[in-house]
Structure 1
Amino acid sequence: MTEIITVTANPALDLSTEAPVVIPDRKLRCAPPLVHPGGGGVNISRAIHNLGGTSRALVAQGGPTGQELVNLIEAEGLTPESLGVAYPTRQSISVRDAATGLQYRFMLPGHAWTEHDAEAARAAILAAASPGALVIPSGSLPPGLPPTFFPDLAPALAERGARMILDTSGAALSHAAQARSGLYALRMDTVEAEELTGQRLRQLSDHADLARKLRADGAAEIVIVAAEASGNVIATEDWVGLTRPPLVIPHSKIGAGDSFVGAFALALSRGEDPVTACCWGTAAAASAVQEEGTTLCQREDVERFFKQVERIAL
């Protein structure tokens, strides 16, 4: 089976809670918080573990919060490895308004990195990458780490026979879309895609046109644009279309994208074709939105939802 390596440069200790109503200038009495290890790569490894798979999780963490993060990761049966950078780990908090069902998410910044830190992380990633491995950097970047860092790392990984699946946003996504750096897969959601293009994606055909164009321009072999509740649009060499999930009642959107990437990568590592892997990812995202906080996808639900995912050519 293909090895999966996740990379989290800016992890967080995630606290999630609920208040009867969220209004300004008042003390809001919240429910007891759920506490989970967070950060894109960490959550992807957690999702893979939930689905019965294995991965290596490279994490930059430090300080008391970082130790609590490690303890929580290990409590879920994972063994995080150092990314070579050990600044104090940040926190984030999400509050669900019980009256409206709306969720408010507050993300604190991480510690600023130096050029030396970037070199240490680069060395750790390249040392971990084995031939054929799927390397998945995910999550926000700490201050000081240039948005070009991960796309520019892809060619060096390719030289070692590894492939990069990149799930990013903002300036890093813009660079990845233009760099032609040999990415295996590039994923974004609708908001990120609209920021990239400066245009509204009003119809699924707009998502498909963008995914098709990015792939043709050499951004990646596989391009995926998440279309919220409609599912995921994927462009591969052989097929462009939508993988549509079954109808579910959402509780929290946190972790849906990470669950998608985890299930997608796990399916690829087991030899599934990219479109089938996208169906697994779509099922995992549908599972995740039903959960509280950052509990992520659940295997039984994912296996049930996978059978209900539709493939629609666009």
Structure 2
Amino acid sequence: MRDILTVTLNPALDISTEVDGVVPGLKLRCDAPRADPGGGGINVSRAIQLLGGQARTFAVLTGATGARMAQILTETGHHLITFSGATETRQSLAVIDRLTGAQYRFMLPGPDWPEDVAPQVVERIEHEAHPGSIVVVSGSLPPGCPAEIISGLVGRLAAKRVETIVDTSGKALHHIAGPDHGTPPTVLRMNQTEADDLAGRPLRSLEETASFASSLVSRGVASIAIVARGPEGSVLATREGRWHSHAADVPVRSKVGAGDSFVGAFTLAFARGMALPDCLSWGVASGSAAVMTEGTALCEPEDFNRLLPLCPAAEI
């Protein structure tokens, strides 16, 4: 299997709990909290490990929260590579209202990066990436981090014969998909909301989404474009064709980590040299398994193995 390095620029300590009703003005007595190291790339590494693989994990971790996350990741067997150059690592909170089943997610913005941090981070990631590796850049950017950091990193890694899988949002995604995007990543993945935003209109059908994904490939934005449509599953487009895998019909407990579980399973299958339709099925089955778990927990391997036959990929 090929070496995998995940990158998390804006990690968070994910805290989850439950309460008997979310109402204003009262002290809400919550259950004992669960704390998990989070942020896109970290969650991708966790999902890969759950499914029997291993990835090296690069994360910008600072302060007491960062130290706590590093301890958890190290104690759970992750190969952690840290960079400290900003202020305190952020936290996030997910609360389930037991009366309604609704989940409330509070995401803090993260520390401001000084101007000199971004080039140092890019240089360190480039150093850690081996020729032939797959680098997964997943998650949001912290305040003060330039939008072009991911595009620039993709270009430098391509010069080292490193393939990249990118799953980001906001200004970073718009820069990657813009006219001056530079070297395209191997894989660009986004959810439906992000795709609608890029397209400038709602993509109301599976066919519209697949056509949009194909347009990203034809414009040279990425070699492989993936768009997730929630319960409808995900579509994947290359110059050779388009495929769709429908999500399994499962009870939804928490949507936290479903996208990262998809990327983790897809990356693991990709690193093992599996065909792209099979990689897509792995991703969708893992995302389906993730929504069945509580709070910030990710996919469980037993659920993934059971759901995988229910998520075949078909050409569209």
Question: When the two structures are superposed, what TM-score results if normalisation uses the length of structure 2?
Answer: 0.96
Offset at 1:22? 1.3
1:258 maps to a residue whose letter is D
Tell me how far apart the structure 2 counterparts of residues 134 and 270 of structure 1 sit (CA, whole Å).
11
Give the match for residue 3 of structure 1: 3
Tell me how far apart the structure 2 counterparts of residues 18 and 302 of structure 1 sit (CA, whole Å).
25
Is the 1:242–1:312 Cα contact (8 Å) retained in structure 2? yes
How many residues align? The count is 314
What are the within-5 Å matches in structure 2 for residues 269-284 of structure 1? Answer: 269-284=271-286
| 1:40-59 deviations in Å (ceiling 9; x for gaps) | 11100000010110111001
Q: 2:189 aligns with which of 166, 187, 198?
A: 187
Give the match for residue 165 of structure 2: 165
Give the match for residue 248 of structure 2: 246
Is the 2:138–2:166 Cα contact (8 Å) retained in structure 1? yes
| 1:265-287 deviations in Å (ceiling 9; x for gaps) | 00011011222111101110011
Give the match for residue 115 of structure 1: 115
1:157 maps to a residue whose letter is L
Offset at 1:180? 4.5
Tell me how far apart the structure 1 counterparts of residues 110 and 101 of structure 2 sit (CA, whole Å).
29
Give the match for residue 296 of structure 2: 294
Tell me how far apart the structure 2 counterparts of residues 113 and 86 of structure 1 sit (CA, whole Å).
5
Give the match for residue 203 of structure 2: 201
Q: Secondary structure at the match of 2:186?
A: strand
Tell me how far apart the structure 1 counterparts of residues 84 and 69 of structure 2 sit (CA, whole Å).
16
Offset at 1:5? 0.5
Is the 2:86–2:117 Cα contact (8 Å) retained in structure 1? no
| 1:230-271 deviations in Å (ceiling 9; x for gaps) | 100110232212111221111000000000000000001101
Tell me how far apart the structure 2 counterparts of residues 134 and 47 of structure 1 sit (CA, whole Å).
16
Give the match for residue 38 of structure 1: 38
1:56 maps to a residue whose letter is R
Q: Secondary structure at the match of 2:36?
A: strand
Offset at 1:75? 2.6
Answering whether residue 264 of structure 2 is matched by residue 262 of structure 1, we say yes
Offset at 1:313? 2.8
Tell me how far apart the structure 2 counterparts of residues 84 and 121 of structure 1 sit (CA, whole Å).
9
Question: When the two structures are superposed, what TM-score results if normalisation uses the length of structure 1?
Answer: 0.97
| 1:195-233 deviations in Å (ceiling 9; x for gaps) | 222211211111111101111111100000000011001
Is the 1:283–1:309 Cα contact (8 Å) retained in structure 2? yes
Tell me how far apart the structure 1 counterparts of residues 35 and 56 of structure 2 sit (CA, whole Å).
22
Is the 2:214–2:225 Cα contact (8 Å) retained in structure 1? yes
Tell me how far apart the structure 2 counterparts of residues 98 and 172 of structure 1 sit (CA, whole Å).
36
Give the match for residue 305 of structure 2: 303
| 1:88-125 deviations in Å (ceiling 9; x for gaps) | 21111011111221111111121111221111101111
Give the match for residue 73 of structure 1: 73
Tell me how far apart the structure 2 counterparts of residues 276 and 83 of structure 1 sit (CA, whole Å).
34
Is the 2:86–2:113 Cα contact (8 Å) retained in structure 1? no
Offset at 1:24? 1.9
Q: Secondary structure at the match of 2:64?
A: helix
Is the 2:55–2:79 Cα contact (8 Å) retained in structure 1? no
1:249 maps to a residue whose letter is P
Give the match for residue 149 of structure 2: 149
Offset at 1:137? 1.1
Give the match for residue 235 of structure 2: 233
Give the match for residue 20 of structure 2: 20
Structure 1 moving runs of 4+ over 3 Å = none
* Aligned residues with identical type, % of pairs: 43
| 1:3-56 deviations in Å (ceiling 9; x for gaps) | 110011111111001111112222212111111111111100000010110111
Runs (5+) with no aligned partner, structure 1: none
Q: Secondary structure at the match of 1:307?
A: helix
Offset at 1:76? 1.9
Is the 2:232–2:247 Cα contact (8 Å) retained in structure 1? yes
Q: Secondary structure at the match of 1:186?
A: strand
Is the 1:180–1:218 Cα contact (8 Å) retained in structure 2? no
Tell me how far apart the structure 1 counterparts of residues 113 and 182 of structure 2 sit (CA, whole Å).
26
